[in-house]
Amino acid sequence: MNVLNAKPPSYLEPARWLARLAVIAIVLASVGCYRAPTLTGSDQVYDPNIEATKLKDNDLGGLVWPEVDAVMDTLLPDPNDPGCAIGIARGGELIYLEGYGKAVIGGANWSVATMGAVGSISKTLTAAAALKMHQQGLIDVNQTVGSYLATSNGPLGSTAIHELMNHSGGVGGATQALAFGPTWEGGSPASECVVIDPGEEAACANASQLAARPEMAFGWYEGVEAVENLPKGDPASGIPHDGVYSNVGYSALGAVIDDAAQSTSSGGYEAWVWDEIGIYTGNLLSADNLLSLALSHSWRNGDIPYRARGYTPNGAGFDLFEAFAPGAVDWFEGWEGPSGGWVMTIGDLTRLAVAVQEDAILGGLEDAMRFEWTELLGWNNDLYGMGMFLNQNGARPPQWHGGAIGGHRANWGVWDNYAGTGQSLAVAMMCNRTDIVPWNQANVIAAATVGSSPRPGQIQFGAPVEESALDDRTFALDWDAAWQEVPRGATLPFVLGDALVLNTSATRRGFEASLVAFEREEDRLTRPLGKSQWLGALDLGRDNTFSTERRDVILETSDGEIVLEDLVTSGRVGPGGRSLADVGLSFSLDTRQIERFDLDWNAVCQLAEETGARCKSCRDGETACLAVEYRSLRGEAVEMDRR
């Protein structure tokens, strides 16, 4: 049976160079651009991807929703324990993102920047990737595994690709336990490293990294993997196939994708999913993209910013239970990617749910994902489409997928018309503890939000501050809670970070700005690398607010100067003049300046326009200037050595 009646189109020839383009990213005065993860190098998961995601999501993390808080406070009574993050969207629009509890015990809280493992939700990404490849003519999901991958295993080679996607192919065996992981061929690097002998640590670490390429892993299990002949139904007539939920089947599906991706500029499974499913809009600057997507492995533990650790309760507290543990007894890591290896932020997990619900990724082929293909054995007769569960009894969302790996649990769920409200609803949840099951909480959270909406937190203003209290203060601005306000539809990775210092002057009664790199030693700032620039007089208004004059300010980077035209700094002074809150920066960026970084400013303006932003006329009349605004920075007074 031809699963997708439409004949796959011929190869598409999109302007691939656009997918490699971004505007300036400045993190401590270094310049880079968004890019897909790589399997080699020292920065495999590129930091600006996550920093930009944090920057666009912080505004939703600054809201208050008492009805959701009540649910989460019941689940997580101790804020010092491992926790969860919640994402909610209505009508296809994200309206709330919030973290509760600890992403790391004794360390960071859950936030919109936390990178959490999503386990089997990875199957949603992999199924979407296979259908996207079908759409582009790279593969045909009606063909067999053997049409694309060499295998000596006849039953595996004759399994149709769509059977891998809907779990009806029986790959892995007759039960979910058998299909949990591959059967490694004797003598393969994987089989030799299931139990690591002393002295083999380095070789097994290398084997794990090789297995992160799904096609490589496939070569180590394809010859001996079991394939159960499951009863076939007639889904077109409402009689689903029998199915066994199979990690092995999705590993093989990832191998097909990996093989086909090698003929593209992406070059492999992980990068192709990031390029085509993460950047599904086709525009690298679009705020709808899933920039944070990456695979988690033990060798990336220190490479993924804001990574949550997994935990399991032990009766008296919690034990560390990492998703990927090198040298674990009877376990070989690296192969899990297509079936369970992805990590992302709560915002991107929510965006994934919305994109699938809105048919945004595949433009209609999502219907194949939500078609009732298979009835899963041992799952209380749950139905499965392609990369999603289709629940019929109301106990869970109509469309959903959960995931569990190590100490991590996650879930996304969507309702096309929730509780007769006429509005779609999406709920996403990720946790770093095994005693909370997100897919059992989705309906609870959804019900709690009916008739209510998130709202801004209450800002408390203190007593009036005298301007003299600001004499000779230095504030290093903190971007942890900042967000990009303008351009709203585009995500610019223009992160100044600790490069921005505001100084107040006793003699000039105003602000100076040092937009330069500096070194931090404990609570002191040392050796600024540029001269301070005058921003104008300081006039405190009602509620201790301030706003500076429009000034051109020069940002010094290691690759040259960047001018921020018409910079205005605004905000509120905290009690006693010891802090700044709700600081905003607005300026105009002449995009022609990015040419020194080998980026095409015309293309940047074109991409910005496609997202709803627009480059406007600069002072010389050239349409090359982009308005930029950041909100909600804060700063604490610090000491600076003025050497």
Give the tens place of pLDDT for each residue, 225-234. 999 999 999 9
pLDDT of residue 458: 62
Q: Are 174 and 243 in contact (CB under 8 A)?
A: no
User: Side chain identity at 388, as an amino acid letter?
Assistant: M
pLDDT of residue 234: 96
Q: pTM of the predicted model, to two decimals?
A: 0.92
How many other C-beta atoms are found inside a 10 Å radius of the C-beta of residue 1? 10
pLDDT of residue 24: 29
pLDDT of residue 522: 63
Mark out the alpha helices in 457-612 (DSSP H runs). 601-610
Provide block-wise average pLDDT over 10 residues at a time, the chain (643 residues). 36 20 28 80 92 94 95 97 98 97 98 98 98 97 98 98 98 97 96 89 92 98 98 96 97 98 97 98 94 95 95 96 72 94 98 96 92 92 93 88 97 95 96 97 96 82 81 83 92 67 71 59 62 76 87 76 89 89 92 82 90 94 95 84 57
pLDDT of residue 273: 98
Q: HSE, CB side, 13 Å, CA atoms: give it for residue 430.
A: 34
Name the phi and psi angles at 553, rounded to 5. Answer: -125, 140
Q: Can you tell me the distance from the alpha carbon of 60 to that of 347, in angstroms, rounded to the nearest whole number?
A: 9
**DSSP secondary structure code for residue 340 in this structure:** H
pLDDT of residue 21: 20
Q: Are 217 and 334 in contact (CB under 8 A)?
A: yes
**DSSP secondary structure code for residue 277 in this structure:** I
Secondary structure (3-state) at 572: strand
What would the DSSP string read from start to end of 128-160? HHHHHHHHHTS--TTSBGGGTS--S-HHHHTSB
pLDDT of residue 585: 92
pLDDT of residue 425: 98
CB proximity list for 469: less than 8 A, separation 6 or greater:
573, 576, 577
pLDDT of residue 219: 98
How long a stretch of residues is the chain? Answer: 643
Q: Can you tell me the distance from the alpha carbon of 640 to that of 498, in angstroms, rounded to the nearest whole number?
A: 13
Q: Can you tell me the distance from the alpha carbon of 609 to that of 84, in angstroms, rounded to the nearest whole number?
A: 36
**Residue located via tokens 């988690």:** 296
Residue closest to 86 by CA, chosen among 384, 448, 333 = 448
Q: Can you tell me the distance from the alpha carbon of 397 to that of 391, in angstroms, rounded to the nearest whole number?
A: 7
Residue 250 token pair: 């999705």
Q: Can you tell me the distance from the alpha carbon of 337 to that of 333, in angstroms, rounded to the nearest whole number?
A: 10
What are the counts of helices (DSSP H) followed by strands (DSSP E) for the chain?
15, 31
Q: Can you tell me the distance from the alpha carbon of 274 to that of 322, in angstroms, rounded to the nearest whole number?
A: 24
Rounded (5°) CA angle 494-495-496: 115
Name the phi and psi angles at 463, rounded to 5. Answer: -65, 155
Q: Are 171 and 46 in contact (CB under 8 A)?
A: no
The beta-strand segments (E) located in 574-622 are: 579-590, 616-617
Residue 568 token pair: 């205005």
Bridge partner residues of 384 (DSSP): 374, 389
CB proximity list for 39: less than 8 A, separation 6 or greater:
209, 212, 213, 268, 270
Q: Are 375 and 241 in contact (CB under 8 A)?
A: yes
Q: Are 415 and 398 in contact (CB under 8 A)?
A: yes
Q: Measured on CA atoms in the order 266, 270, 275, 277, is the torsion positive or negative?
A: positive
